[in-house]
Amino acid sequence: MLEAIFELLVPLVMASIINKGISNSDTHYIIMMSGVLLFLAVVGLCFSITAQYFSAYVAVHSAAVIRRDLFEKILGLSQGTKEKIGEEVLTTRITNDINQIQNAINMVLRLFLRSPFIVFGATVMAFIVDVKSALIFIVVVALLSLIVFFIMKYTLPRYKTIAAKLEKVLHSTSENLSGARVLRAFCQTDDELEAFKEKTGTLAFMQISTGKISALLNPVTYVVVNLGIVGLIYISMLRVDSGVLLQGDVVALVNYMGQILVELIKLANLIVLLMKAFPSADRVQEIMEIKSDERHHENINDSEVITDSSKKLGRLSLKHVSFSYNGGAEMDLEDINLEIPAGSTLGIIGGTGSGKSTLLKLLNHTYDATEGKVELDGLDVQKLEDSYLAEMFGIVPQKAVLLSGTVRSNLSMKKTEASDDEIISALNISQSLDFVTTKEGGIDTTVVAKGTNFSGGQRQRLTIARALVGEPKVLILDDSASALDLMTESKLRKELTQLSWKPTLIIVSQRASSVKGLDQILVLDDGKCVGLGTHDELLNTCKTYREIYYCQYPREEASCE
């Protein structure tokens, strides 16, 4: 505001120089007032730099806080919620949308008060100089306000639509990049390219048409203000001829009109920026207002919580459990009844899409069971805190995921104070010790993002080692040996069945050899339990298991025949 005040004083000093200094050929007065102009410029510059610094600081700091809070919110979302929203949407919100908000905060702090103040102040100063000439200012400001209003009314909803269409393009990009091999294999590249062109073409058309309307702000502002200057000069000329105005006053009025022109152009650009930022702010707010966890958490009494480590056994029970994604009518799992004694081993086998991974997600309460109950040591998992479940379960996901850092930092995620001996023991059990020790850094070897400096089999073994650290009571392996050769898998399976703390071991696999020696084998087909028993029992009683097994061991089938 101080910067604006000093700027408004400049035309008055200019008028004084012309009216008094130049008219009277007073060199001393001209030099003195030129010094005043220089003083106003220097002080105004100091205020301008200060204002810009703090505006930029506040904008960057605010964006950092919003981004941090949004990231914290995203990390707190359940798996189901994140899958429903989509990774591309969340990535766009935390990057592009927050950048738009940051730019808007910076420009608002700089211009939202300054520009209207100068427009209003220049109009007031024009009235001080000459009332009749200043009426032109009222007409110009009113016309420009109407123009800005109509352009905003047209473009603001279109910017929201553009943001939504941009997300669709990002989603399509991500989908095509991740499925590039599939598209090439099935010769769908041209079809996807046409579909992508259509989406980007629609987005481009809307951006261009909206941009054309937004771009009218600058030229229309120039036209209106310059017409105002023409009218101002014409009226001022008549006023000078009649002796009411001095020549310096005309210069001051034109300067004030020029100031209005500059500030209105800045204000127009600010409005365009705000029209982009408002939808971004709404989209960020939309994520922040999402319920963090749609899962059901029942209230429990402190007396129900298992605090005695000797009672943390790892016994699991599924009672008439059914599940459907997103509440659909068709069940993805249907009426599963299963008892898994503490310390026992269970294998889960079935065709692709039979519900194996889904069943595992119900065990540790990643999802709520739609019907029935899942119990851990006699307690409903809905009554247990996520932190307690994380302590009890060691999970090796189907897709091996390592985070940037070191082997040590990845393996000690569950137990941060894990000793070197614990980490080495886990590496040894998971058949990872041989390749880790050959690395220059050993257990402190650097792991790049997503663990791409390790092979697929090495990543799988490291994720198994990570699950072993902390000695979980329930160890779940979701088809986590698919990238291992049969010999390495056999050694790994032998080590897992001989663990000293005897956890409940659940192995999901496509290979019959991985589950045939376990205490129980659950056979799933289209979300239903079609077999439960030992390997020998299932060969005699379960057609689905027999088909899976003999597909992998055709010689045995021939010998049986």
Domain residue ranges in the chain: 2-288, 308-399+470-560
Which amino acid, 325?
Y
CA torsion 364-369-373-378 (nearest 10°) is 10
Closest C-alpha to 275, from 164, 359, 160: 160
**Single-letter amino acid code for the residue at 528:** K
Between CA 56 and CA 63, with CA 59 as vertex, the angle to 5 degrees is 140
The values of phi and psi at residue 81, to 5°, are -65, -45
Which pLDDT band holds residue 558 (cuts at 50, 70, 90)?
very low
Among 249-253, 357-361, 480-484, top mean pLDDT goes to: 357-361
SS3 (DSSP) at 556: helix
**pLDDT above 70 coverage of the chain, percent:** 95
pLDDT-derived band of residue 482, with 50, 70 and 90 as boundaries? Answer: confident
Is pLDDT larger for residue 214 or for residue 462?
462
Confidence category of residue 561, pLDDT binned at 50, 70, 90? very low
Question: Per-residue pLDDT averaged across 358-377, rounded?
Answer: 89
Cα–Cα distance, 176 to 20 (Å, whole number)? 74
Contact 468, 496 (CB under 8 A): no
Between 57 and 368, residue with greater pLDDT: 57
Give yes or no for residue 556 having a pLDDT over 60: no
How far is CA 469 from each of CA 311, 423, 452, 460, rounded to the nearest angstrom?
Answer: 20, 7, 22, 15
Confidence of residue 560 (pLDDT cuts 50, 70, 90): very low
- Ramachandran angles phi, psi of 219, nearest 5°: -65, -40
**CATH assignment, 308-399+470-560:** 3.40.50.300
Is 50 exceeded by the pLDDT of residue 15?
yes
Rounded CA separation 493/473 (Å) = 17
Residue whose token pair is 């100068």? 118
Query: Tell me, which fold does domain 2-288 have in CATH?
Result: ABC transporter transmembrane region fold (1.20.1560)
Contact 102, 62 (CB under 8 A): yes
Q: What is the pLDDT of residues 486-542, one digit of tens each?
A: 888 888 888 988 888 899 999 998 888 888 889 999 999 888 999 999 998 999 899
Start-to-end Cα distance in the chain? 95
Encode pLDDT of 128-172 as tens digits. Answer: 888 888 788 888 888 888 887 888 788 878 877 887 788 788 778
Confidence of residue 54 (pLDDT cuts 50, 70, 90): very high
**What pLDDT was estimated at residue 366?**
85
Backbone dihedral angles phi then psi of residue 42, each to the nearest 5 degrees: -65, -50
Q: Is the pLDDT of residue 459 over 50?
A: yes
The string of DSSP letters for 139-172 reads: HHHHHHHHHHHHHHHHHHHHHHHHHHHHHHHHHH
Instruction: Give the residue-averaged pLDDT of 409-434.
Output: 90
Which pLDDT score is estimated for 555?
A: 55
Collapsing DSSP to helix, strand or coil, 103 comes out as helix
DSSP state of 89: H
Contacts 24+ apart (CB under 8 A), 215-221: 216/151, 217/147, 217/148, 217/151, 217/265, 217/268, 217/269, 217/271, 217/272, 218/265, 218/268, 218/269, 220/147, 221/144, 221/147, 221/261, 221/264, 221/265, 221/268
* Model confidence at 305: pLDDT above 50: yes
304 pLDDT higher than 70:
no
The pLDDT assigned to 341 comes to: 92
**Average pLDDT, rounded, for the chain:** 85
Strand pairing report for 520-525 and 528-533: antiparallel
pTM above 0.85, yes or no: no
Q: What is the DSSP annotation of 5-39?
A: HHHHHHHHHHHHIIIIIITTT-HHHHHHHHHHHHH
Q: Where is 406: in which H helix or E strand?
A: strand 405-406
CB 248 within 8 A of CB 14: yes
